[in-house]
């Protein structure tokens, strides 16, 4: 098991704001692939930091930006038991600012001495699953992974991102929970159809007996079998696209 360096850094965003990010990487290695890790709606909490470090142990320089930095103090962590308390931060997000945040985190990766700038990918969970899709539209990424990303397809929450699907860069792996009431089959199918019609490379996988947030071992919806299989598939997908 490699020794890890893990720390919070402060990034400057193009709109003049400052954003903290959690960075983890193996010690004493270079020419490593980079990975953007996008949070759930609960901040860069213990779970997201753990996932970021898990990827670092697999040989990535991984960075998880705090996307609520305009409305919440540094280090903000919402409660899984009180979703309403995080909603003001979620509702305050807009794609223009999020794109600036994504670019700031990407630039921070490029500045790492250990990075191979030609091998960068992203992964995101829930809210971050949508952000992973968005990052793959605006950055020259080699691959993207989206776990149950709500808001990619058009819904009551907004127009979604499928109108921009032609801008997709790297292949994308989409994980869904078959029991997920937040993202119904019509949305999942719309994402696949848009990518297929645009001639993009993608994998869309539904775990029939898994619910929303099945990957998060800190939440009641955690599904150990689905999470372990999704982790193994994620590592294989990244490896095959970042070699």
Please measure the distance between the N-terminal and C-terminal CA atoms of the chain and give it in whole angstroms. 21
Query: Would the pTM of this model clear 0.95, i.e. be above it?
Result: yes
In the predicted structure, residue 17 carries a pLDDT above the cut 90: yes
User: Which tokens hold the place of 207?
Assistant: 């775990």
Tell whether the model's pLDDT for residue 157 goes beyond 90.
no
Dist CA 128 CA 147 (whole Å)? 8
Q: What is the CATH number of the domain that holds 130?
A: 3.40.50.1820
Per-residue model confidence as pLDDT tens digits over 38-50: 999 999 999 999 9
Residues above pLDDT 70, as percent of the chain: 100
Structural domain tally of the chain?
1
Q: Are 203 and 175 in contact (CB under 8 A)?
A: no
Kindly list the catalytic residues.
Answer: 126, 180, 212
Residue 52: helix, strand or coil by DSSP?
helix
Domain that holds residue 185: 4-242
Q: How confident is the model at residue 155 (pLDDT cuts 50, 70, 90)?
A: confident
The pLDDT value given to residue 205: 98
> Alpha helices, DSSP H only, in the chain?
46-57, 83-91, 95-110, 127-138, 185-197, 224-242
Under the banding of pLDDT at 50, 70 and 90, the label for residue 149 is very high
């Amino acid at each position: 098991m490699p020794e890890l360096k893990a720390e919070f850094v402060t990034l400057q965003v193009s709109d003049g704001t400052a954003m903290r990010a959690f960075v983890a990487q193996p010690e004493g290695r270079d020419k490593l692939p980079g990975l953007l890790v996008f949070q759930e709606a609960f901040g860069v909490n213990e779970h997201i930091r753990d996932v970021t470090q898990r990827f670092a142990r697999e040989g990535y320089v991984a960075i998880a930006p705090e996307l609520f930095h305009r409305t919440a103090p540094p280090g903000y962590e919402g409660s899984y038991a009180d979703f309403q308390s995080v909603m003001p931060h979620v509702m305050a997000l807009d794609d223009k600012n999020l794109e600036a945040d994504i670019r700031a985190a990407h630039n921070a990766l490029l500045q790492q001495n250990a990075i191979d700038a030609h091998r960068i990918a992203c992964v995101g969970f829930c809210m971050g699953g949508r952000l992973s899709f968005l990052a793959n539209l605006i950055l020259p990424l080699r691959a993207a992974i989206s776990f149950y990303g709500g808001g990619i397809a058009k819904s009551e929450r907004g127009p979604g991102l499928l109108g921009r699907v032609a801008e997709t860069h790297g292949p994308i792996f989409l994980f869904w929970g078959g029991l997920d009431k937040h993202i119904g089959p019509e949305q999942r199918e719309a994402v696949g159809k848009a990518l297929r019609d645009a001639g993009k490379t993608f994998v869309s996988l539904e775990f029939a007996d898994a619910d929303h947030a099945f990957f998060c071992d800190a939440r009641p919806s955690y599904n150990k079998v689905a999470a372990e299989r999704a982790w193994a598939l994620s590592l294989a997908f990244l490896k095959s696209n970042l070699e």
